[in-house]
Amino acid sequence: MIDKMLADVNSLLELYHFCEWHEVECWTKIEVHIRLMERLITDMNDKIRSYVFSSVVEEIRYFKEVQPLIIKEYIFITTLKRFYNLASPMDLEQPKTYKKEISALRDFINAEKEFYNYIKKTHTYNDERYFRRLSDSGAVPTLYSLNADLESSCSHGLLLAKITACEKLVEFYTRKLNRLKAPFQAEQPKETLPLEWKANKVDAVELVYALYYYGAVDTDKCTVQELAKQFGELFQIQITEQLYREYIDIKRRKIEPARFLVKLLNHFRNRVEEEYT
State pLDDT tens for residues 85-137. Answer: 898 889 888 999 999 999 999 999 999 999 999 998 889 999 999 999 988 87
| pLDDT at position 30 | 73
| pLDDT at position 23 | 46
Q: What is the pLDDT of residues 158-210, one digit of tens each?
A: 999 999 999 999 998 998 888 887 754 555 555 666 788 888 889 999 998 89
| pLDDT at position 24 | 44
Whole-prediction pTM value? Answer: 0.65
Domain parsing of the chain, residue ranges: 2-181, 201-271
| pLDDT at position 68 | 92
Band (150; pLDDT cuts 50, 70, 90): confident
Among 16-20, 41-45, 265-269, name the one with the lowest average pLDDT: 16-20
Contact 156, 130 (CB under 8 A): yes
Q: Which residues contact 193 (CB under 8 A, 6 or more apart)?
A: none
> At residue 156, does pLDDT exceed 50?
yes
Band (224; pLDDT cuts 50, 70, 90): confident
CA atoms 87, 88, 92, 98: torsion sign: negative
> At residue 20, does pLDDT exceed 50?
no
CA distance 273 to 29: 59
